[in-house]
Structure 1
């Protein structure tokens, strides 16, 4: 099944504010190289052990690392932005191993892709999935999958929805951009996903994003978000990164905007994309959360490989 393939040449009109320019990015990369930052992999919180079982009516979330989660609901298994590779183009090696062996992941009922950057769309990992696996992608990205033999590919625009089995999937806006090569700037869309179980409970995976008014609109349209999975890393230096990445403080504000009952941080402790210390995103997230009056049980400060289950 292939749904709504987009022939549009550019989504640059969806950009919300200026992007980091090439000169600034090169200047940042040179400074980081000169600084010789050493990231201590031993600091990354890891949760060992096998994947715990769940009941069919449970809604369970496992953080595998970076933006990769295994979501289990209504007897289905859904994986977001799957990246099991140790190396991806343009950044140092992975800091922490995947929190789940790939062999334990399969089979899955759906793969969700937020956008085409290499740390979210990993060709080596996706090559390991059966080609019959349903894949939900942003507009403009479907052909990337069909060229690799996937047979059930669905493209969605912002606010589009589709169903797979008992689950509903809605694609929602983000403040980001797309590019994999020299000639494909913003040729495909970017965004986040709302996954809704039959009982109405929803999970929100934001993909990669900066802060914007769309978070409040997501909250208005989806009033039953139980958990928001929001990026909290890759923000240093803020003059370069804040237009396209959330700071931990931004993530707390975004979770409040959506009305989410719980917040889980992601997009940190996996690939050293920018210059902040490895544990700083989590420390700042906790500080901002408690300063805003949040309770400890509602902040899911997951370790890599950790699973939590939503209360019924």
Structure 2
């Protein structure tokens, strides 16, 4: 019997009877995946960082220091972000394992160490998941969270609650785009993203993908999740901004003919940052896994080039080191 979407709402453009979709026209064509894999292999891509992996790690990695009690944000590598906000610890897309893969012995391997382990956290209150791809939803990390923090609340897009409960998560909320849940003094909004989902060969787009907006009385943070560029994303700052802080992706964009429908490039990230009002922005989705054709060290240089082309020089959208944290106190727009 064919699977039917239990959340299907015909009034919503991103819903289908069989699952979910992007409202934007599909750019990929049949055979594109095989073409990309063939070209990637022929060109021996991705190439290592210019100075090698060890030098890249020395330049772009540090252990995460989570001491203190101030409101703070840390980049944990790739798309993983840790927030300490109003004395709550919030972990987003925590893929801290050795591979972005269902297999322990194959698949994209971590090239830079995780700057922290779940065991290092003093507490963990809330976990946000943007979608079910292995570089964002890592089963070993989730299992470690459940063992150490069994009361942590997970907030996920539609279709992922069942998977979470199967791993042992006790408290989970699943949301559609533009839905929200309030936990204590924090509000969490699921917002649109242009992407897709798949965890097995049989569940493509059966669960939703999203970004997140975290709101407190003093701060608004936008985590875009994985997303190709779309003008529809401008509705997010229009409805939920202005943002104090954001996390926007700058990696996994090459080749653009293949990746553009699911990952924005640095020029598009800069345009979105400008449209959002130029908040302090953490560039994410780079520096850990080799998921596309660009080298690990290409995204920060391409971001610098994109900012120069846009005549932007205020420093509010610049690469951080993996493990780096910054205070959220007085984090206002300039």
TM-score norm. by structure 2 comes to 0.85
Aligned to 1:43: 56
Query: Is 1:62 the counterpart of 2:74 in the alignment?
Result: yes
Aligned to 1:303: 321
Aligned positions of 1:186-265 closer than 5 A: 186-199=205-218, 201-265=219-283
Aligned to 1:30: 38
Distance in 2 between residues matched to 1:101 and 1:148, nearest whole Å: 19
Aligned to 1:165: 184
Structure 1 position 49, deviation (Å): 4.3
SS at match of 1:297: coil
Distance in 2 between residues matched to 1:22 and 1:122, nearest whole Å: 29
Aligned to 2:12: none
Query: Is 1:96 the counterpart of 2:109 in the alignment?
Result: no
Structure 1 position 21, deviation (Å): 4.8
Q: Among 91, 97, 108, which residue is 1:79 paired with?
A: 91
Query: Is 1:118 the counterpart of 2:134 in the alignment?
Result: yes
Structure 1 position 118, deviation (Å): 1.0
Distance in 2 between residues matched to 1:95 and 1:274, nearest whole Å: 14
Moved over 6 A (4+): none
Query: Is 1:143 the counterpart of 2:155 in the alignment?
Result: no
> What are structure 2's unaligned runs of at least 5 residues?
9-16
Structure 1 position 48, deviation (Å): 2.5
SS at match of 1:185: coil
Distance in 1 between residues matched to 2:328 and 2:76, nearest whole Å: 17
Aligned to 1:16: 24
> What are structure 1's unaligned runs of at least 5 residues?
none
TM-score norm. by structure 1 comes to 0.91
User: Which shifted more, 300-309 or 243-252?
Assistant: 300-309
- What do residues 75-132 of structure 1 show as CA deviations (whole Å, max 9, x unaligned)? 1110111111111227431111112233223521100000111111111110111232
- What do residues 140-197 of structure 1 show as CA deviations (whole Å, max 9, x unaligned)? 1111111222111000110111112221110000001111112111101101000112
SS at match of 1:234: coil
Aligned to 1:183: 202
Q: How many residues align?
A: 305
Structure 1 position 28, deviation (Å): 1.6
Distance in 1 between residues matched to 2:64 and 2:196, nearest whole Å: 36
Aligned to 1:174: 193
Q: Cα gap change, 1:144/1:12 in structure 2, threshold over 3 Å: closer, same or farther?
A: same
> Are 1:162 and 1:169, in contact at CA under 8 Å, matched by a contact in 2?
yes
